[in-house]
Amino acid sequence: MGMSAIHRFSLSSWIVVHSFLFSPAQPYSEPDLGQPGDGMIQAYLSDKTKKIHNRFLVEVASQQQWEQRLPEYRKEYFEMLGLWPLPAKTPLQVTTTGKLKREGFTVELIHYQSRPGLYVTGNLYRPSGASPGQRFPAVFYVCGHRYQGRDGNKTAYQSHGAWFARHGYVCLVVDTLQMGEIEAIHHGTYREQRWWWLSRGYTPAGVECWNGIRGIDYLASRPDVDAERIAVTGISGGGASTFWIAAADPRVTVAVPVSGMADLPSYVPNRGIDGHCDCMFLHNTFQWPWTRIAALIAPRPLLFVNSDHDRIFPMDANHRVINRLERLYSLFGAGDRVDSVVSMGGHAYRKDIRQAVYRFINTHLKTDSRPINDSEVDLVTGTREDPEHPIDPVALRVFPADSDIPEGEVNTTIDEVFVPAASVRAPPRGKFESWRQELKNELRRIVFRELPPRIPSAKLIREESKHTLLLETEPGIQISLRIDSGPQPEAPRGQLLLVVTELGSAVDAPDWLGSLSDQYDYVFFCDVRGVGETRWTRKNPPNYVERSHVLLGTTVDTGRVWDVAASSRYLASQHSNLKIHVAGEGSAGIVGAYAALWEPGIAALHLARLPLTHMDAAAPQFLNVLRVCDIPDVLGMLAPRPLQIRGAADKGLDKIRAIYRSAESSASLRID
């Protein structure tokens, strides 16, 4: 079979949109074109990127307007990192496990707990020969993705700690969550198939940010640190963490991210997201233009550093980001506090970068703008495979032996507990409607912001065949609606069944559907986006399509909810005398249930073999949903509409029963 009509249309649209918006550009890789839906989904993502990207400063024309919006922006920012409400600042339990003396500085091997059991291992570099009571400016140094095994990635960046200490700074260099001495995971959706991170509202960027905030707590508490003079810097993943921390914590006086941020056009249409793990991104729930993250630092001094041949932070994005930052800083009359440096070369530190970083921090923390002439000391030399370290990395370990790692650490399971999951109780009798409305309001606020107040009807594009309709469910998305049977020759039954196709199969009907079919005048199959003729290329890693949606404030499954609701409204417009029922199995059944939550025209549901928590790998995923409720709560919210559930596990079913009882609709619930 040749290229489908959907594919031909969408691919040409993608080329036009992509060329118009982002040319010239530096794509990370070639677009996937091996599946019939690749062109459509790429054009869709490109169009959404344009709309979000163009919002920067649209609502802000002055410093006063920015400052009025800043409290709201900060709250949204913390929510998107999984940090709202802000966690309690529990005792840091700072522990020193060793100390090294070198010429001009000392190194203390320390760990602190940013929350109980979440250990941050670091090396604290201090000037030698300090006078009693002397206070120094401080640097919080965050590391990039340099794997150093059990030594932690802090050991690869020891030259920075040494330079700062030799020049009168207290510098804390900390390990990251994944590449620290206690190794956890940054690659949950990139590689590890932990899609529940989306529903949980968890991103390792939130952990790195929180670890940084608590690290600044520690520095500010030290008697040898001037808490009014604290800088944050780092490269790559450390550059991203520099943004996370400086945007979150106003105590950061100076921020110097090195190769740490691009923008949405670079990440999504140009596929830069494929070059990054999950710690580089927040869940863009509130659909921010990406530069707004950096803008939260204004008007504090910010040096934006990059390299002209950096594939994962390309120069077209670099130009857009710094131009936007300069516009924002100009609102404050602070254009002299933001600057950029571009070095010639790839993704790495070089002499000119080190000189620029050190000089900028000296200028704003010490009012010393003299050129830097000694940046090339204490460097890690040799090759990546055989490096030569001024200080043996093993000597910089905070936990020298594996047996020293605390048994109570939660680093390796922090993704399961970092963002609290909601605990929803079934409502008492008489309180069902207010209970449901409160949950729906919160779902609207942080889960389904993408959906309009009511999803409009799909539009008929054409009849592909006698049994297949091509519908546009939202601009840029086309799906197939297949007629399985109808109309029946017997007396009308007054009902139409819309079956949500099981994801991964666009052909086979559920084995239990036969017992339902004779109850309906018509049976339609809804092949939601990504299924059948709209399937796109899936590669694990990097899961481009699914992860790109998150940067645009939505998920693939949210789009599928849209498809079902829009299709049901289309069918209702064509068969106004019939009641629309929805059926589905597994993940498709849950998609149908959420469609019914937002589409009152769906009169009843028949669901089978359902996952009953979004923590289940088989469940659909929606941004932040577990911060509001879980699947049994949503199924209960469908009351008083008839709901039949077949073959589900027992766990969670009692909750559904309790909610239907509270709605005085027990007779409408059937669980087989």
Provide the residue ranges of all domains of the chain, joining segments of one domain with +.
5-61, 67-417, 432-671
Say what the pLDDT of residue 517 is.
82
Mean predicted confidence (pLDDT) in 162-166: 98
Mean predicted confidence (pLDDT) in 631-638: 98
Identify the weakest region by mean pLDDT among 15-29, 50-64, 456-470: 15-29
pLDDT digits (tens, 9 = 90+) for 202-245: 999 999 999 999 999 999 999 999 999 999 999 999 999 999 99
Averaged confidence pLDDT in the chain: 94
Identify the weakest region by mean pLDDT among 373-382, 434-443, 481-490: 481-490
Q: In what order do the strands lie in the sheet with 302-307?
A: 95-102, 105-115, 118-127, 170-174, 136-142, 225-235, 254-258, 302-307, 338-343
pLDDT digits (tens, 9 = 90+) for 566-595: 999 999 999 999 999 999 999 999 999 999
Buried b (16+ CB within 10 A) or exposed e, 564-580: bbbbbbbbbeebeebbb
Residue 484 CB: number of other CB atoms within 10 A?
15
Q: Pick the residue with more confidence: 612 or 508?
A: 612
> Does CATH place domain 67-417 in 3.40.50.300?
no
* Angle between helix 38-53 and helix 5-22 axes, rounded to 10 deg: 30
CA 443 – CA 284 distance, rounded (Å): 15
Say what the pLDDT of residue 511 is.
82
- DSSP string over 316-385: HHHHHHHHHHHHHHHHTT-GGGEEEEEESSSSS--HHHHHHHHHHHHHHHHS--PPP--TTSS--EE-SS
Contact in structure between 294 and 261 (CB atoms under 8 Å): yes
Say what the pLDDT of residue 487 is.
65
Considering the entire predicted model, what is its pTM? 0.94
CATH tag, 432-671: 3.40.50.1820
Say what the pLDDT of residue 212 is.
98
CA 431 – CA 662 distance, rounded (Å): 8
Say what the pLDDT of residue 660 is.
98
Say what the pLDDT of residue 10 is.
37
Q: Is the pLDDT of residue 9 over 50?
A: no
Say what the pLDDT of residue 465 is.
87
